[in-house]
Chains A and B, each alone.
Chain A
Amino acid sequence: MEQTISKPISNVPANRLKFLIGGLLIVAAVVYLIITSTQASAQYFMTIEELEQKGSQVIGRNLRVSGAVIGDSIQYDPQTLTLRFTVAHVPGDNKEIEAQGGLAAVLHAAVIDPSRPRLQVIYQGVKPDLLRDEAQAIMTGKLGEDGIFYAEELLLKCPTKYEEALPEQSEG
């Protein structure tokens, strides 16, 4: 051990290199992990309008879509735990929502407007309490070849007297 301490200075650059390579390997590993994990689990935020436009390009991708729930379309089979409903397009941008009079107004306008792009959703799981007319559904899942959105996760937001109302979460 004593030998190492008194080793000549000339060894320092060699050591530096060793540590540099070691450090770079770690950095490379972290970068690799970040890139592959991002690719594997990235979720694309899309509005229903964008979905309609891009159509088949996005089939199979992890998507996150938000829309206004149309109350009459909700069908739930408690035996098979299959939930079907339709959502109408709402803007994806918060500023735009604010500009149109807030979330509640935007959701209401989306539901009553039959010309808005709509999307059919199928979700396997328990029907969340907050799923009702003019609620905002935030769904993650994939678009099927049949044009139906297969939601794996369903979050609902209801504009209540709480501006900061929590989304109820249910995962499937």
Chain B
Amino acid sequence: MITELGYGTLAISFLLAIYGIIAATWGVLKRRPDWVDSARNAMLLTFPLLTVSALSMIYLLVYGHYEVEYVASVTSNSMPLYLRITALWGGQAGSLLFWSWLMSAFASAVTLRNWERDREFLPWVIVVCLITLAFFLGLTLFVENPFDRLWLLPGGIAIKSFFAPQGALPYFQSDGKGLNPLLRHPGMIIHPPMLYLGFVSFVIPFAFAIAALVTNRTDDRWIRITRRWSLVAWLFLSLGLILGGRWAYDVLGWGGYWGWDPVEIAAFMPWLTGTAFLHSVMIQEKRGMLKHWNMILIILTYNLVIFGTFLTRSGVLSSVHAFAQSAIGPLFFTYIGASFVISLSLLLRRWQTLKSDLHMTSLLSREALFLLNNLLFMGILVVCFWGVIFPLISEIVTGQKVTVGPPFYERATAPLFAGLLLLMGIAPLAAWRHSTVQTLGKAVWKPTVVSLLIPLLALASGVRNWAALLGFWLAAFVACVTLYEYGRAVLARSRSRNESLLRAFWNLAGRNRRRYGGYIIHLGVVLMAIGIIGIELFQTETQGTLAQGEQLSLGPYTMRFDSLAVFDTADGRNVARAVVSVYKNGQFVGELYPRRDFYYESQQPMTIPGLRSTMEDDFYVLLVDWQPISSAGATFKVYHNPLVNWLWLGGLVFILGTLVAAWPDSETNPATVRARRRLPFAAKAS
């Protein structure tokens, strides 16, 4: 019954999406607003319908309806409730349903906004959102149906199908295979949904961009409307990436946070174009330039989002994330190809009307530096893209299969990231329109001198790695500039309005949220950079087999193997748990319990590190092997990760800054009212 309900609502949503596309197009062509309204209602309806569908799936997962193939493949009797719910996005079919559900939520939300002033956008926004939704619903319905059931044919062969095949009997299993052990982590609750929310919400700015192209509205209205949508999308995507890094650090057991895995890159690529987009739209808003470029960026972002969803869910590349395999590849490529060609040809048609009469005049002006920032982001994107497709190209051209690993990405992107950091320090000091070496130099020299203190201190304390010294200087430089800019504004406001410093700080962030939120984000990046320098350049590791009471030393730390216990748990795991005492510089600092869980039903092990974490460094212990009988000896792999906590702290600051930037202005805020009143004039001026 529930299976039929879920499938039925899914099918109706698909039909509604198709109807909406046709009705909106018809309404616009025949100038019939009632048809557009009908399409709008159809789009609005997809959300409740897909909510019913997704809830049905969750019901089936939670109550263990193993006759449904998807349920049997991702849940099992021993899984706790929260993991059963998260199993909705634990496999490919469910992920596609989840994606569609989120997409419908955003699509419905966008129909509810006030359309009075930009009615001409509405039909095209509906068309773009619904085409995207229909594509994913189509995949879910016809290719990867999560509601497919298992049937037993007379010959004893089990097949999966939604409707009963002739002569087949329902196939009821008493238990399922269960979720992949690596996914059985609290991170599963939040990392994939955040990433998906980020993916899905970038569809909205893209839809408005296409609407602007079709309707030939070449002002920056579409950018102003979607400013907050883009920020929210970016917030979710960033959060998803940071959480993924933390999850990897906690459970994947290689002592790292980012492995340049193709799937990580797939989620990182839309983030790169999205970040470039967030920066370059400011140039269009302030100076009316880069209109083509912004269109290209949002088109790229949209296609990379679809590509990212495809990579994470198709198993086309073998990676930590490719726990799903299927034949949906060609469909995805066709869709991406078509949407790319259509959006680019639309852009070409409007190329002339998008031309700006303003030109950049100075290489050192703020807009030129923003453009440079965009180029560097694109450079990183090209590096990533090259890394992903290089094996394919090389195989086609030379017949030899060649791949590039993390060293390639590290080598090629590090200078570009360093360049971005430098720009992050210089650009806020550069003037709009015109800036010369003299004017910029005057603004830059003070923070340069102050920030040189940090690498000098590092040098004095024995750091000889030039890359690290450069990195620390860049981080200090950006921090100096950002804090100086913030401090200057706070002081000025506090003086002119007679506010306390704290009050002035608060009001300032509230008044120009994007700017001051942006500065907080920059500070977050600085902290993250420090953590990344720490772990990338100073990580050390060792391994050893210890008898009880023996010790192993690494950096300032010494660990002693005290004991080991092996036991079974109620949820079907065999756990080997070691107790080790940790000493830092000879002082006892605590015990750690690295363990290895073995999942009986899936026959897979999972390593959970013991971790001592401080702002200075992390001591990370993995239990990799042990003598089963005597529990006398065990093998450990140990990492010393200096400064890595700055990465997580920076991530937190980063997200807080994004929240500040994206926070809706309150209605009573006089600044908002003033801005609204000003808006019509501003629109005319641009």
User: Contact between B359 and A12 (Cβ–Cβ < 8 Å)?
Assistant: yes
Interface pick from A102-110, A112-120, A143-151, A161-169: A161-169
Given contacts A79-B545, A129-B605, whether A33 and B416 have CB atoms under 8 Å apart is: yes
Chain B, range 249-269, C-beta contacts under 8 Å to A: 252, 254
User: Contact between A168 and B545 (Cβ–Cβ < 8 Å)?
Assistant: no
Chain B, range 591-615, C-beta contacts under 8 Å to A: 602-605
Is residue B315 contacting chain A, with contact meaning CB distance below 8 A? yes
Q: How far is the CA of A126 from the CA of B318 in the complex (A)?
A: 23
User: Contact between A160 and B602 (Cβ–Cβ < 8 Å)?
Assistant: yes
Q: Which residues of chain B have C-beta atoms less than 8 A from A167's C-beta?
A: 318
User: Contact between B407 and A5 (Cβ–Cβ < 8 Å)?
Assistant: no
Is residue A52 contacting chain B, with contact meaning CB distance below 8 A? no
Q: Which residues of chain B have C-beta atoms less than 8 A from A169's C-beta?
A: 252, 254
User: Contact between A34 and B543 (Cβ–Cβ < 8 Å)?
Assistant: no
User: What mask results when residues 115 to 143 of chain A are scored 1 for a CB within 8 Å of chain B, else 0?
Assistant: 00000000001110100000000001000
Q: How far is the CA of A163 from the CA of B376 in the complex (A)?
A: 40
User: What mask results when residues 316 to 334 of chain B are scored 1 for a CB within 8 Å of chain A, else 0?
Assistant: 0010101111000000000
Q: Which residues of chain B have C-beta atoms less than 8 A from A171's C-beta?
A: 254
Shortest A115–chain B CB gap in Å is: 25
User: What mask results when residues 1 to 22 of chain A are scored 1 for a CB within 8 Å of chain B, else 0?
Assistant: 1001101000110011011001
Chain B, range 291-338, C-beta contacts under 8 Å to A: 315, 318, 320, 322-325
Q: How far is the CA of A37 from the CA of B602 in the complex (A)?
A: 39
Q: Which residues of chain A have C-beta atoms less than 8 A from B390's C-beta?
A: 38
Chain B, range 351-381, C-beta contacts under 8 Å to A: 359-363, 368, 372, 375-376, 379
CB within 8 Å: A-B pair count: 129
User: Contact between A7 and B361 (Cβ–Cβ < 8 Å)?
Assistant: yes
| Nearest B residue to A166, CB-CB | B182
User: Contact between B605 and A42 (Cβ–Cβ < 8 Å)?
Assistant: no
Interface residues on A, range: 35 or more
User: Contact between A41 and B180 (Cβ–Cβ < 8 Å)?
Assistant: no
Partner of A127, one of B315, B325, B625: B625
User: What mask results when residues 131 to 163 of chain B are scored 1 for a CB within 8 Å of chain A, else 0?
Assistant: 000000000000000000000000000000000
User: What mask results when residues 409 to 425 of chain B are scored 1 for a CB within 8 Å of chain A, else 0?
Assistant: 10110011000000000
Q: Which residues of chain A have C-beta atoms less than 8 A from B379's C-beta?
A: 26, 29-30, 33
Q: How far is the CA of A166 from the CA of B182 in the complex (A)?
A: 9
Q: How far is the CA of A56 from the CA of B132 in the complex (A)?
A: 53
User: Contact between A40 and B605 (Cβ–Cβ < 8 Å)?
Assistant: no
User: Contact between B545 and A166 (Cβ–Cβ < 8 Å)?
Assistant: no
| Nearest A residue to B622, CB-CB | A126
User: Contact between B382 and A41 (Cβ–Cβ < 8 Å)?
Assistant: no
Q: How far is the CA of A154 from the CA of B390 in the complex (A)?
A: 22
User: Contact between A4 and B411 (Cβ–Cβ < 8 Å)?
Assistant: no
Is residue A60 contacting chain B, with contact meaning CB distance below 8 A? no
Q: How far is the CA of A40 from the CA of B411 in the complex (A)?
A: 9
User: Contact between B431 and A34 (Cβ–Cβ < 8 Å)?
Assistant: no
Partner of B402, one of A1, A29, A43: A43
User: Contact between A26 and B376 (Cβ–Cβ < 8 Å)?
Assistant: yes
Given contacts A38-B390, A126-B635, whether A33 and B411 have CB atoms under 8 Å apart is: yes
User: Contact between A78 and B625 (Cβ–Cβ < 8 Å)?
Assistant: yes
Chain B, range 51-87, C-beta contacts under 8 Å to A: none
Q: Which residues of chain B have C-beta atoms less than 8 A from A15's C-beta?
A: 359-361
Is residue A85 contacting chain B, with contact meaning CB distance below 8 A? no
User: Contact between B637 and A44 (Cβ–Cβ < 8 Å)?
Assistant: no
Q: A-contacting residues of B (Cβ < 8 Å)?
A: 177, 180, 182, 252, 254, 315, 318, 320, 322-325, 359-363, 368, 372, 375-376, 379, 382-383, 386, 390-391, 400-405, 407-409, 411-412, 415-416, 431, 433-434, 543-545, 602-605, 624-625, 633, 635, 637
Shortest Cβ-Cβ A-B pairs, 4 listed: A45-B401, A37-B412, A30-B379, A41-B407
